[in-house]
């Protein structure tokens, strides 16, 4: 029987996916908090929700079961019981800056007074100071910025479910995220895999957990086949973390034998590999031309198992040839975002024109606003399902970032 996590490619027919419907967290902040929260604008929530519901419907209409992070997290905590919920709250509060002390106690009491689902939604949405009938008088609080409106910051990036964890084979990497704005997110995923009845005790592996100092994010983790991964060396994922997960995957009989590390520019627009490069068919990829140097070159290291737990690294710069070799393909179609036009490709990349979600080989979900890239995809023979994107795109992520596949059919 198929396990509840089963991902052996980026493109096999998608059967089960996890989304997060945007909630109050995407508008519960002020413009001066935006850079720190990794947002460039504040979405209009009712429209963002409508767009997101339409995205979910597109998936359902194509035979995909859609699960929601906020619901799974609450169900997991309920299934875990009082002790689990209590430990989760302590951990969440510690990671929000309240390991102990009077504020820890007040916040814990406030959050515990809610139903589990309301508690989860409140933590995700942020806790403002004016919600509590309490004025802290302790030294730590006195030293803080008095007019800062939050005790607990909102987590507006949660609707990018792809990043805090990645499904690989029959397991997950649960990620230590780069920026504080996103670090607490992966705690929900840890609770789900440990305690949710659908996932707990099902023989699923955690290839690398969140208790690390080195950084990795799911937008950089691409499952190219049942033996090959590509991982971006990016603003969000460090070389050390890639080597670490490589060792674990090789050691623990994951089936993965080859990891192609691809170095991309370290900046906000291209924060993850999947913002500039995605797999959309057995022999087709989207690529943002801006990441390729002269002659289509880019730094790649193909990592395989060496002797005595060491890693072998093979440095090459011809991306097309590296992919052809790893995937045993005679030819490969690298489709340029924005048709390769320097203005259009940069503009459409900014709005995630390369961030396609394949729901079957050659069938992709994309944002409608990237109309040049969409036309090019169709010219290359792909079936393109466009979704609305005016508000969702303000968070700097597209259909791949907004979805965490849990089960895909194996490729034949
Ligand atoms: N995989 C992705 O590229 N996810 C998009 C994440 C956007 C979010 N605002 C972030 O900066 O983390």
For residue 143, what pLDDT is reported?
Answer: 60
Residues 34-64 have pLDDT tens digits of 999 999 999 999 999 999 999 999 999 999 9
Q: Is the distance from the beta carbon of residue 160 to the nearest atom of ligand 1 less than 6 Å?
A: yes
Sort 357 into a burial class: Cβ within 10 Å, 0-12 / 13-18 / 19+.
buried
- Residue 283 Cα to ligand 1 middle (Å): 26
389: which DSSP letter?
-
Q: Is 6 in the pocket of ligand 1 (CB under 6 A)?
A: no
DSSP 183-213: HTHHHHHHHHHHH-TTTTTS--EEEE-S--S
Mean pLDDT of 240-259: 96
How close is the Cα of 110 to the center of ligand 1, in Å? 30
For residues 48 and 22, is the Cβ–Cβ distance under 8 A? yes
User: What is this structure's pTM?
Assistant: 0.96
Of 19, 157, 268, the one to substitute when testing ligand 1's pocket (max ligand atoms within 8 A of C-beta) is 157
Walk me through the domains of the chain, giving residue ranges and CATH numbers: 14-70+156-408 (3.75.10.10), 71-152 (1.10.3930.10)
* Closest atom of ligand 1 to CA, residue 396: 7
Q: How far is the CA of 253 from the centre of ligand 1 (A)?
A: 30
> Can 53 be counted among the known catalytic residues?
no
* 294 vs 387, more confident: 387
The candidate with the shortest Cα–Cα distance to 90, out of 108, 112, 103, is 108
**Token output for 198:** 């659908």
Is there an atom of ligand 1 within 6 Å of 173 CB?
no
**In this predicted structure, which of 131-135, 180-184, 398-402 has the lowest mean pLDDT?**
131-135
Segment 22-30 mean pLDDT = 97
pLDDT at 144: 65
5-18 pLDDT, tens digit each: 999 999 999 999 99
Helix (H, G, I), strand (E, B) or coil at 255: coil
pLDDT tens digits, 83-115: 999 999 999 999 999 999 999 999 999 999 999
pLDDT for res 293:
86
Atom of ligand 1 nearest to the CA of 236: 12
| Residue 411 in this model has a pLDDT that exceeds 90 | yes
Contact between residue 287 and residue 373 where contact means Cβ atoms under 8 Å apart = no
Tokens encoding 30: 């002020």
Separation of CA 367 and ligand 1 centre (Å)? 15
Please provide the average confidence, as pLDDT, over all residues in the chain: 95
Give the integer Cα–Cα distance in Å for 154 and 125: 5
3-state secondary structure of 198: coil
Q: What is the pLDDT of residue 268?
A: 86
Task: Please check whether residue 25 is in contact with residue 154, taking contact to mean a CB–CB distance below 8 angstroms.
Answer: yes
On the question of pLDDT at 205 being above 80, the answer is: yes
Are 261 and 300 in contact by the 8 Å Cβ rule? The answer is: yes
CA-355 nearest atom, ligand 1: 3
* Test site for ligand 1: of 39, 154, 272, 405, most ligand atoms within 8 A of the Cβ: 272
Spot the catalytic one: 123, 177, 303, 401: 401
Whether residue 210 has pLDDT greater than 70? yes
Band the pLDDT of 308: cuts 50, 70, 90. Answer: confident
Label residue 139 by pLDDT band (50, 70, 90): low
């Amino acid at each position: 029987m198929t396990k509840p996590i089963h991902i052996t490619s980026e493109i096999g027919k998608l059967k089960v996916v996890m989304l997060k419907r945007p909630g109050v967290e995407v508008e519960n902040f002020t413009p001066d908090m935006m850079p720190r929260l990794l947002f460039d604008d504040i979405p209009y929530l009712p429209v963002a929700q409508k767009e997101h519901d339409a995205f979910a419907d597109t998936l359902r209409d194509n035979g995909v079961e859609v699960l929601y992070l906020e619901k799974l997290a609450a169900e997991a905590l309920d299934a875990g019981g009082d002790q689990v919920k209590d430990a989760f709250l302590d951990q969440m509060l510690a990671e929000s800056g309240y390991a102990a002390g009077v504020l820890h106690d007040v916040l814990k009491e406030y959050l515990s007074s809610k139903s589990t689902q309301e508690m989860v939604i409140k933590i995700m949405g942020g806790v403002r100071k004016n919600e509590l009938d309490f004025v802290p008088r302790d030294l730590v609080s006195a030293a803080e910025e008095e007019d800062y409106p939050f005790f607990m910051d909102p987590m507006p990036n949660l609707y990018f479910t792809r990043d805090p964890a990645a499904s690989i084979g029959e397991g997950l990497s649960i990620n230590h995220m780069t920026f504080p704005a996103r670090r607490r997110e992966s705690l929900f995923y840890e609770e789900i895999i440990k305690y949710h009845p659908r996932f707990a005790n099902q023989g699923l592996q955690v290839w690398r957990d969140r208790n690390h100092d080195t950084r990795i994010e799911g937008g950089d983790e691409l499952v190219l086949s049942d033996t090959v991964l590509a991982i971006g060396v990016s603003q969000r994922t460090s070389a050390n973390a890639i080597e670490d997960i490589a060792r674990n995957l090789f050691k623990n009989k994951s089936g993965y034998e080859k990891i192609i590390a691809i170095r991309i520019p370290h900046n906000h627009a291209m924060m993850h590999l999947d913002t500039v490069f995605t797999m959309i068919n057995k022999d087709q990829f989207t690529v943002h031309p801006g990441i390729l140097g002269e002659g289509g070159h880019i730094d790649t290291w193909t990592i395989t198992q060496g002797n005595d737990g060491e890693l072998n690294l093979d440095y090459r710069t011809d991306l097309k040839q590296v992919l052809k070799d790893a995937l045993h393909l005679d030819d490969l179609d690298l489709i340029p975002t924005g048709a390769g036009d320097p203005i259009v490709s940069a503009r459409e990349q900014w709005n995630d024109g390369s961030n396609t979600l394949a729901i079957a080989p050659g069938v992709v979900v994309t944002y409608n606003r990237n109309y040049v890239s969409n036309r090019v995809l169709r010219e290359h023979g792909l079936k393109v399902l466009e979704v609305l994107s005016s508000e969702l795109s303000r968070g700097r992520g597209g259909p791949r970032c907004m979805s965490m596949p849990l089960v895909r059919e194996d490729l034949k």
